[in-house]
C-alpha cells in the first residue's frame, strides 16, 4: 500500500500503537482498527492465554485490518526474558539479560524467541535492552540490562538484533539515549540524568550507535529528563534528542517510538495533548499508548487535526508513515 494514497485518518492512525483489554477480536478492538486506524497493537499479560489463543487473535486482527482496507498491523510485545517476559510457559523462559555469559547465549535467545513469536503471529519485539547499568549504583535497569560495560552490552544486544531480524521479527532497541544510570522508575515519575552529551556519548550511546550500524528496525525513546541535552522536555518528547541527536547526528533512519505515554513520568507532568504536540514536533514515528481510555481518541484527533490543518505537518507526517510502511513492507506479509 502506498502512503500517498492514504486518507488523512490513515496518516493519523498509523502513528499510534495501542494496548487493549481482552483476548480476541471484539468490538472495541475493531473500533481501534477500522475507525482509529491504528498502525499497531502491543500485547500484555491481560491479552495472553495459550499459544493457540494468541495465534488466533493475531490472525483475526490482521484479517480484520485487511477487510477494513488497512495495512497489516505491527503486533508488538515486550519479550526481553527474565523480569520482563509477557509470554509464559509453554513458551521458553529465559533467565534474563544479566545472566547471559557468552554471545552464544544471546544468539540462542534471539533464535528461539523469534521462532516462538513468529509461530503465534507477533512481528515486533520491544527488545533488546541496550541500557548500560553500572554495578556501583542501584540502577533501575540492573535486573534487565546485559551489564555495566558498554562494549559488552553492544556485543550481546547486536546478537539479539541479528537473530530476531534474520528470522523476520523487528527488534526495537531501548531506552534511548540510555537509562542505566538512573535509579527512579519512570513508570512512577520522571527520572533526571544530569550528564552532558560528551559523557553520554562515551558511555550510554555506544550500544545504540552499534544498533544503528547493524540496522535495528526501531529505537524506543526513554521517559528520562536530560537537562544538559534539553532543558525543557524528556527524551520521549524532545525534538533535540529524537531528531537532532538520533536522526541527524547518529543517522538513524528506522522507526522512532516513544515509551508508553501512560507511564507516570509523563502523565504526572504533561497532558496527553501536550505530549502529542511534542511528538509531532519531534517527528517521532509511533506514539505508544498502552492502556485503554480516552488518551487514544484524544491522540488520534490531535494528529488528524495536525495532518489536515498544516501542509508542513502533513508532509512530515507522511515521511513518518513512509518509514512505517517501509518496515511493514519488509517484514509483514500483505
Cell 500517498 sits on residue: 4
Q: How many residues comprise the chain?
A: 334
Distances, alpha carbon 171 to alpha carbons 11, 244, 262, 293, in Å: 23, 22, 22, 27
**Are 142 and 187 within 8 A, CB to CB?**
no
Query: How much is the pLDDT for 57?
Result: 98
Distance CA(193)–CA(301), nearest Å, equals 33
Take residue 216 and report the three cell numbers written for it: 535495528
Tell me the catalytic residues: 187, 259
Give the dihedral sign, CA 164/154/99/183. Answer: negative
Count of H helices and E strands in the chain?
Answer: 12, 10
Distances, alpha carbon 7 to alpha carbons 60, 176, 282, 313, in Å: 24, 32, 22, 15
Packing angle of the helix pair 103-120, 150-166 (nearest 10 deg):
30
Angle at 248 between CA 287 and CA 330, to 5 degrees: 55
Take residue 146 and report the three cell numbers written for it: 546485559
pTM of the predicted protein model: 0.97
Query: How much is the pLDDT for 136?
Result: 87
- In the three-class reduction of DSSP (H, G, I as helix; E, B as strand; rest coil), residue 306 is classed as helix
Instruction: Give how far the C-alpha of residue 142 lies from the chain's centroid of Cα atoms, to the nearest Å.
Output: 20
- In the three-class reduction of DSSP (H, G, I as helix; E, B as strand; rest coil), residue 226 is classed as coil
Query: How much is the pLDDT for 310?
Result: 86
**Are 93 and 112 within 8 A, CB to CB?**
no
Distance CA(231)–CA(212), nearest Å, equals 26
Query: How much is the pLDDT for 243?
Result: 97
Pairing of strands 255-257, 84-85: unpaired
**Are 16 and 38 within 8 A, CB to CB?**
yes
Per-run averaged pLDDT (10 residues), the chain, 334 residues: 90 98 97 98 97 98 97 98 96 97 98 98 98 94 97 98 98 97 90 94 97 98 96 97 97 98 94 97 97 94 94 92 97 76
Query: How much is the pLDDT for 185?
Result: 87
Pairing of strands 170-176, 218-221: parallel
Q: Give all domains of the chain, ordered by start, each with its CATH number.
A: 3-331 (3.20.20.300)
Distance CA(240)–CA(227), nearest Å, equals 11
Amino acid at each position: 500500500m502506498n502512503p500517498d494514497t492514504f486518507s488523512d485518518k490513515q496518516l493519523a492512525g498509523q502513528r499510534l500503537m495501542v494496548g487493549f483489554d481482552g483476548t480476541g477480536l471484539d468490538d472495541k478492538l475493531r473500533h481501534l482498527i477500522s475507525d482509529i486506524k491504528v498502525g499497531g497493537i502491543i500485547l500484555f499479560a491481560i491479552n495472553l492465554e495459550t499459544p493457540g489463543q494468541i495465534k488466533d487473535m493475531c490472525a483475526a486482527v490482521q484479517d480484520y485490518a485487511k477487510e477494513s482496507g488497512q495495512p497489516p498491523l505491527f503486533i508488538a510485545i515486550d519479550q526481553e526474558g527474565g523480569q520482563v517476559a509477557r509470554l509464559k510457559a509453554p513458551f521458553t523462559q529465559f533467565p534474563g539479560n544479566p545472566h547471559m555469559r557468552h554471545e552464544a547465549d544471546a544468539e540462542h535467545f534471539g533464535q528461539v524467541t523469534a521462532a516462538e513469536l513468529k509461530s503465534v503471529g507477533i512481528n515486533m519485539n520491544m527488545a533488546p535492552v541496550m541500557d548500560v547499568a553500572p554495578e556501583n549504583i542501584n540502577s533501575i535497569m540492573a535486573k534487565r540490562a546485559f551489564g555495566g560495560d558498554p562494549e559488552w552490552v553492544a556485543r550481546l544486544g547486536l546478537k539479539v538484533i541479528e537473530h530476531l531480524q534474520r528470522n523476520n521479527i523487528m527488534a526495537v532497541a531501548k531506552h534511548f539515549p540510555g537509562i542505566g544510570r538512573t535509579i527512579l522508575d519512570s513508570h512512577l515519575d520522571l527520572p533526571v540524568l544530569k550528564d552532558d552529551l560528551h559523557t553520554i556519548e562515551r558511555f550510554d550511546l555506544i550500544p545504540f550507535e552499534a544498533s544503528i550500524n547493524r540496522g535495528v528496525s526501531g529505537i524506543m525513546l526513554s521517559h528520562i529528563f536530560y537537562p544538559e541535552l534539553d532543558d525543557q522536555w524528556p527524551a520521549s518528547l524532545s525534538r533535540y534528542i529524537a531528531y537532532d541527536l538520533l536522526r541527524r547526528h547518529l543517522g538513524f533512519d528506522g522507526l522512532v517510538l516513544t515509551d508508553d505515554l501512560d507511564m507516570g513520568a509523563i502523565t504526572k507532568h504533561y497532558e496527553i495533548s501536550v505530549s502529542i504536540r511534542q511528538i509531532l514536533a519531534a517527528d517521532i514515528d509511533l506514539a505508544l499508548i498502552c492502556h485503554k481510555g480516552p488518551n487514544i481518541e484524544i491522540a488520534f484527533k490531535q494528529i488528524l487535526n495536525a495532518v489536515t490543518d498544516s501542509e508542513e505537518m502533513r508532509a512530515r507526517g507522511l515521511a513518518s508513515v513512509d518509514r512505517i510502511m517501509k518496515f511493514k513492507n519488509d517484514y509483514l506479509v500483505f
